[in-house]
Amino acid sequence: MLVLRTNEIDSHLEHSAGTALSLLPKMLKQIRLAVHKLKASRFADVVIATDHGFFLNAHAEAGDLCARPPGDWITVHDRSLLGDGASDTGNFAVAAEKVGIRGDFARFAGPRSMAPYRRGLLYFHGGASLQEAIVPVLTVRLRQERQPELTRASVTLSYKNGAKRITTRLPVVEVAAESADMFSLGADVEILLEAHDRKGNVVGEAKPGGPVNAATGTIALKPGGREQVTLRMEPDYEGKFVLKALNPVTMTAYATIDLETDYAV
């Protein structure tokens, strides 16, 4: 048994929710990569689980705040109170022992609605909610493939007949695939498009939609196929970068091209 734990998503969203949302696709990509590595290591089953859910309130307004009920309370979380007091129209209050809390506090309280006790929160969890009480558990049964797989692929990238500068934050690149293995001519080539700066940071990705799978962010091409793919660049990035066509399982590069931004001011 191998156990991997991380609190990266929760930690980043707790401290900087507005800028950390882009972390979620990155974490999903890492989970997918880990599953493939486990399969290569002959593991049979993978269980992906979380300890709690969360709520994203992208458009917080004045009413998205819960006032504490009357009584003597200590705020222990954005949606949890411990102390003594009574419930009201906006809050429930129950005996602490009924929710498994042991200590010197008589009552546990929380909002009846999906609102926290602090103003302006984009990300929060806790209290009594479906997001906190019911969390997803994903079980993956890893089957070892017996049929031939595409072991080699020839992938090419091109931008505007060899141009080296992009003038828009949504440039369109052409991706083409050819098989180098006569035994797997019908197999799809799965490609992950990413733009990396000199430090290896991702500064652009394939825009979901059309040939790009919205769930995985990848493009599936049959040998001999080609697609026009829109690249979505980070709005704040300018400078040189490397556009990479990657194997999403191993993250090795099928093909790369060097480009540079040249946006009109």
Q: How far is CA 221 from CA 82, 172, 209, 210, 218, in A?
A: 57, 17, 15, 13, 10
Is the pLDDT reported for residue 2 higher than 80?
yes
Could you tell me the pTM of the whole model?
0.60
- What is the pLDDT, as a whole number, of residue 184? 53
- What is the pLDDT, as a whole number, of residue 36? 87
At 3-14, the pLDDT tens digits run 998 888 888 888
- What is the pLDDT, as a whole number, of residue 147? 47
Nearest to 228 by CA among 203, 255, 193: 193
Is the pLDDT reported for residue 21 higher than 90?
no
**Spans of all domains in the chain:** 71-119, 150-265
Higher pLDDT, 60 or 85: 85
CATH number, domain 150-265, options 2.60.15.10, 2.60.40.2550, 3.40.50.80, 3.10.20.30: 2.60.40.2550
CB 139 within 8 A of CB 45: yes
Is the pLDDT reported for residue 175 higher than 90?
yes
At 103-161, the pLDDT tens digits run 889 999 999 988 899 887 888 888 888 888 888 899 999 876 654 454 456 899 999 98
* Percentage of the chain exceeding pLDDT 90: 45
Nearest to 25 by CA among 257, 232, 190, 256: 232
Q: At what angle do helices 8-20 and 23-40 cross, to 10 degrees?
A: 140
Query: Among the listed ranges 23-37, 182-196, 205-219, which one has the minimum average pLDDT value?
Result: 182-196
At 62-113, the pLDDT tens digits run 668 899 999 999 988 889 999 999 999 999 999 999 989 888 899 999 999 8
